Structure formats: C-alpha cells, structure tokens
Copies of this chain bind each other. A is one copy, B any other.
Amino acid sequence: MDDDFLFMTLLYDFYGALLTDKQREIFEMYYLNDYSLGEISELLDISRQGVYDTLKRAESSLEFFEEKLGLVKRHQEIMNKLDKIKKGIEIIRERERDPEILKIIEEIAREIEELNP
C-alpha cells in the first residue's frame, strides 16, 4: 500500500462522514475492501466512468477538507510526539529500579498504549 493510498484512508477516517452516502459506499469498496473500478461498476450497476467520477469527487472533497482544516496534519504531529514520548518511556522502563517510579512509568505506558489504536 503506498503512502498516497494510506493518506487517503486517513483523510477518510477524519472527514468521511461529510461525504454523500454514494461517495462513501464507493470509497469504501475501492479503498477499504480492495475492489477494482470494474468490479464496483458491475456490483453497483453503474458505468465504470461513473464509479471513477464519484471516487474522484470523494477524494477531492476529502482533500478540500484537509486543506481547509488541517486536522489530519495536526493529529499526525501529536502522534509523532507521542511516539517519541513512548520511546523515552520504554528506555526508562528498562533502566529504572525505583518501584514507585516504575509504577508511574507503567501507567504512562498504558495511557499511551490506549492512544495508539
């Protein structure tokens, strides 16, 4: 799966609820369930061009929302920082001997774990 593909599914995760039902249906078939345009065309009884156009409109909308709101970018920055924090916590967990501190470290590790789905 290439980066553009992954990024599009991330945009969908954030903004998908603002698409039309038809756009969501086709987007999910193509991006999440790995159907080809031809297969979607057959299954939904729409022309291949129609499937393609709907998919492109869905993609454009998702890109428009990110351009306007930038919430995926903001979220990714937070997640990158959390990843750095997680790595630091792992190092401390291996090295630390004070049981009180270790207890806090375990709690922090659990909090971070819950944030990474």
Contact across chains for B112 and A69 when beta carbons are under 8 A apart? no
Contact across chains for A17 and B68 when beta carbons are under 8 A apart? yes
Contact across chains for B68 and A71 when beta carbons are under 8 A apart? no
- Of the residues B15, B96, B100, B111, contact of A81 by C-beta under 8 Å: B111
How distant is A49 from chain B, measured CB to nearest CB, in Å?
29
Q: How many residues of A contact B (CB 8 A)?
A: 30
How distant is A14 from chain B, measured CB to nearest CB, in Å?
7
**A89 at interface (Cβ–Cβ under 8 A)?**
yes
**A107 at interface (Cβ–Cβ under 8 A)?**
yes
Binding site for B on A (CB under 8 A): 14-15, 17-18, 65, 68-69, 71, 75, 78, 81, 84-85, 88-89, 91-92, 95-96, 98, 100-101, 104-105, 107-108, 111-112, 114-115
Other than A78-B78, A81-B111, A84-B111, give 9 A-B pairs with Cβ distance below 8 A: A17-B68, A18-B65, A18-B68, A81-B114, A81-B115, A88-B108, A91-B104, A95-B98, A96-B98
